[in-house]
């Protein structure tokens, strides 16, 4: 079985400050990890993924995430938050060798204050 934990329902950060949205996972075998962003009444937009290679993955809109195998984590980060980054963020995992259906975390609402 595979699972994703996003321990924070909401993250608040001031504009210009660095942000981190946490994600830990559990999966059999090697993980494929993803971050998506959702704006109100919209579908999910792909931000970045880790499949293999460098543990630090850079994605869209200045976001990056670090794959940490020992801590089974894939935290999303951005050096300087923008008000427009305020949205709902989902972490997802699937096994490289198992089901191709990703499992999503419950989502973290990011609020960036001006």
Partner 1 sequence: GAVVSQHPSRVICKSGTSVKIECRSLDFQATTMFWYRQFPKKSLMLMATSNEGSKATYEQGVEKDKFLINHASLTLSTLTVTSAHPEDSSFYICSAPLGTEAFFGQGTRLTVV
Find the binder of partner 1 among 8, 44, 82, 86 (CB under 8 A).
44
Helices (H) and strands (E) in the chain, counts: 0, 12
CA distance 83 to 101: 32
Does 100 interact with partner 1 (rule: CB under 8 A)? yes
Of 35 and 80, the one with the shorter C-beta distance to partner 1 is 35
Contact 48, 36 (CB under 8 A): no
Does 107 interact with partner 1 (rule: CB under 8 A)? yes
Does 70 interact with partner 1 (rule: CB under 8 A)? no
CB 21, min distance to partner 1, A: 14
For residue 2, the number of C-alpha atoms closer than 13 Å in the C-beta half-sphere is 23
Find the binder of partner 1 among 3, 45, 55, 71 (CB under 8 A).
45
Q: What's 29's DSSP letter?
A: S
CA distance 82 to 78: 9
Does 54 interact with partner 1 (rule: CB under 8 A)? no
CB 36, min distance to partner 1, A: 8
Does 59 interact with partner 1 (rule: CB under 8 A)? no
């Amino acid at each position: 079985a595979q699972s994703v934990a996003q321990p924070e329902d909401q993250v608040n950060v001031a504009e210009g400050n660095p942000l981190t949205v946490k994600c830990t996972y559990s999966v059999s075998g090697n993980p494929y990890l993803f971050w998506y962003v959702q704006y109100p009444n919209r579908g999910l937009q792909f931000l970045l993924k880790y499949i293999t290679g460098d543990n630090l993955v850079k994605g869209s809109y200045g976001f990056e995430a670090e794959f940490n195998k020992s801590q089974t984590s894939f935290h999303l980060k951005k050096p300087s938050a923008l008000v427009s980054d305020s949205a709902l963020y989902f972490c997802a995992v699937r096994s490289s060798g198992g089901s191709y259906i990703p499992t999503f975390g419950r989502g973290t609402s990011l609020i960036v204050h001006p």
